[in-house]
């Protein structure tokens, strides 16, 4: 296909392990392994084999400062200063850390604002944190409502920013519909009301550029295992604007210590400078290792080019599906600046259709109760792949090939 021949990122497909005969459209849930990720993981395993405990300070990637090294390389992807980013924890643990650090409820201002479409783990974390702080989640957690069950309106978000809201925690991209929220407008409105603005970047990290520092975002959390291809359960990331770096970590641990004093074994905590202070325990070196290779690829490809190709791929896919399979309802916003890296299609037989796609060699993503998510990834999806997916969906639905499967999700969906 001519568009593939002209694609400046086409060469990167060779960097990834793509199962022969398979088109992988689930990189918004778990990215594929890159060859460099494998090499870096094996390399760090070898450093353990070669150096033993000396691996903390010896070898190509000393473990003691690996998180800081990776954070500095990741920061440009988030429009952040190097000392505002830390590769650490997971989304859920980092939500607990950020709320423990910045949430300071008073009798007048105690509400954490979330939304009714958010990923369950974020809600669980907020609820449990509120209980730990002596708050009743039924009162102290407020959800922005959705008008259509798929998206949020900026007007409705702003309307819920009442005088009793202390912190908001919203997704940058809604995991089901792919809607991209306007972070700058939300942050500015929050600050005008004295509200701390935080975001979960799970579905935008690695899919598009960010501008967290200049937009004034207070804190953010994300994972690296989706668009950033760091592997299942890979170490996550957090961002805390430098204006908050005077705050002691709500959850303190020894890897949040000043590294020059960490091994003094003093019981008085001396926090590290910048976002490093908000680490807790010893970093999982093998879970960070693949990210070394992944960040090399991002540096070479460029996040702007990745975003541009992603938009081209998703535009092509949704246009072909609209023409070939009109029974699939595209619930992702149309405008480029209002959508992330995947498209979401609603259909009452969604679970069965996803199973039929897998039988046809295409890996999609199902989200209950009726959503098919498709994410053509700029690194390893071709325009020809997109055309094949559209044609496969046409065959599956027109010929009712999905009827041989049950319309129930698998244990892991």
147 and 226, same domain (yes or no): yes
Contacts of 341 (CB under 8 A, 6+ apart): 28, 173, 178, 203, 204, 207, 208, 227, 310, 314, 375, 377
pLDDT digits (tens, 9 = 90+) for 236-269: 999 999 999 999 999 999 999 998 998 888 999 9
Q: Is residue 282 part of an annotated ligand binding site? A: yes
Q: Is residue 119 part of an annotated ligand binding site? A: yes
Q: Is residue 122 part of an annotated ligand binding site? A: yes
Q: Is residue 241 part of an annotated ligand binding site? A: no
47 and 6, same domain (yes or no): no
Of residues 291, 304, 313, the one with CA closest to residue 67: 291
φ/ψ (deg, to 5) at 363: -100, 105
Average pLDDT over residues 160-175: 98
Query: Last residue of a domain, which of 269, 299, 329?
Result: 299
382 and 288, same domain (yes or no): no
Beta bridge partners of 220: 199, 239
Query: What does each C-alpha distance from 102 to 85, 97, 188, 358 come to in angstroms?
Result: 16, 9, 18, 44
286 and 394, same domain (yes or no): no
Instruction: Write the burial class of residue 356 (CB in 10 Å: 0-12 exposed, 13-18 middle, 19+ buried).
Output: buried
- Mean of per-residue pLDDT scores for the chain: 97
Question: Domain span at residue 388?
Answer: 2-32+302-404
> Which pair of structure tokens corresponds to residue 359?
């039988």
Q: Is residue 225 part of an annotated ligand binding site? A: yes
**pLDDT recorded at residue 410:** 77
Instruction: Write the burial class of residue 199 (CB in 10 Å: 0-12 exposed, 13-18 middle, 19+ buried).
Output: buried
Residue 409 resides in a domain: no
- State the CATH number of the domain containing residue 341: 3.90.1150.10
Q: Is residue 22 part of an annotated ligand binding site? A: no
Q: Is residue 235 part of an annotated ligand binding site? A: no
pLDDT digits (tens, 9 = 90+) for 306-359: 999 999 999 999 999 999 999 999 999 999 999 999 999 999 999 999 999 999
Q: Is residue 121 part of an annotated ligand binding site? A: yes
Largest Cα–Cα distance of the chain, in whole Å? 70
Q: Is residue 239 part of an annotated ligand binding site? A: no
pTM of the predicted protein model: 0.96
Q: Is residue 222 part of an annotated ligand binding site? A: no
Query: Last residue of a domain, which of 284, 299, 314?
Result: 299
User: Structural domain tally of the chain?
Assistant: 2
Average pLDDT over residues 5-32: 97
Q: How far is Cα 285 from Cα 20, in angstroms, rounded to an integer?
A: 31
Q: Is residue 92 part of an annotated ligand binding site? A: yes
**pLDDT recorded at residue 13:** 98
Query: Last residue of a domain, which of 299, 316, 342?
Result: 299
> Which pair of structure tokens corresponds to residue 4?
């593939």
Ordered alpha helix ranges (H), 52-182: 66-74, 91-102, 120-132, 137-140, 154-159
């Amino acid at each position: 296909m001519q568009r593939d021949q002209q694609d400046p990122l086409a060469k990167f497909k060779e960097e990834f392990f793509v199962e022969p005969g398979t088109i992988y459209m689930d990189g918004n849930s778990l990215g594929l392994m890159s060859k460099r990720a494998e090499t870096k993981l094996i390399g760090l395993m070898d450093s353990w084999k070669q150096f033993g405990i000396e691996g903390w300070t010896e070898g190509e990637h000393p473990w003691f400062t690996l998180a800081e090294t990776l954070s500095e390389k990741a920061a440009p992807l988030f429009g952040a200063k190097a000392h505002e980013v830390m590769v650490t924890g997971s989304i859920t643990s980092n939500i607990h850390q950020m709320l423990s650090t910045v949430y300071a409820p008073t009798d007048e201002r105690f509400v954490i604002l979330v939304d009714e479409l958010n990923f369950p783990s974020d809600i669980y974390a907020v609820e449990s944190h509120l209980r730990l702080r002596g708050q009743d989640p039924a009162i102290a957690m407020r959800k922005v409502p959705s008008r259509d069950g798929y998206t949020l309106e900026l007007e409705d978000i702003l309307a819920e920013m009442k005088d009793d809201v202390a912190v908001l925690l919203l997704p940058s991209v809604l995991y089901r519909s792919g809607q991209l929220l306007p972070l700058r407008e939300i942050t500015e409105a929050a600050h005008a009301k004295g509200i701390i603005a935080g975001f979960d970047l799970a579905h935008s990290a690695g899919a598009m550029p960010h501008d967290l520092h200049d937009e004034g975002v207070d804190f953010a959390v994300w994972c690296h295992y989706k668009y950033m291809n760091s592997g299942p359960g890979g170490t996550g990331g957090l961002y805390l604007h430098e204006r908050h770096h005077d705050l002691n970590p709500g959850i303190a641990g020894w890897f949040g210590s000043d590294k020059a004093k960490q091994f003094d074994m003093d019981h008085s905590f001396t926090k590290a400078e910048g976002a490093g202070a908000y680490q807790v325990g010893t970093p999982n070196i093998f879970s960070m290792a693949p990210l070394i290779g992944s960040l090399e690829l991002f540096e070479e490809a460029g996040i702007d080019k990745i975003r541009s190709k992603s938009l081209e791929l998703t535009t092509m896919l949704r246009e072909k599906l609209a023409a070939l399979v009109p029974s699939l309802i595209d619930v992702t916003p149309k405008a480029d600046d209002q959508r992330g890296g995947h498209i979401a299609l609603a259909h009452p037989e969604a679970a069965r259709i996803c199973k039929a796609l897998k039988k046809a060699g295409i890996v999609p993503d199902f989200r209950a109760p009726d959503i098919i998510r498709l994410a053509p990834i700029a690194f390893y999806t071709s325009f020809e792949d997109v055309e094949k997916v559209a044609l496969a969906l046409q065959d599956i639905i027109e010929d009712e090939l999905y009827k041989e499967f049950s319309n129930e999700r698998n244990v892991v969906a």
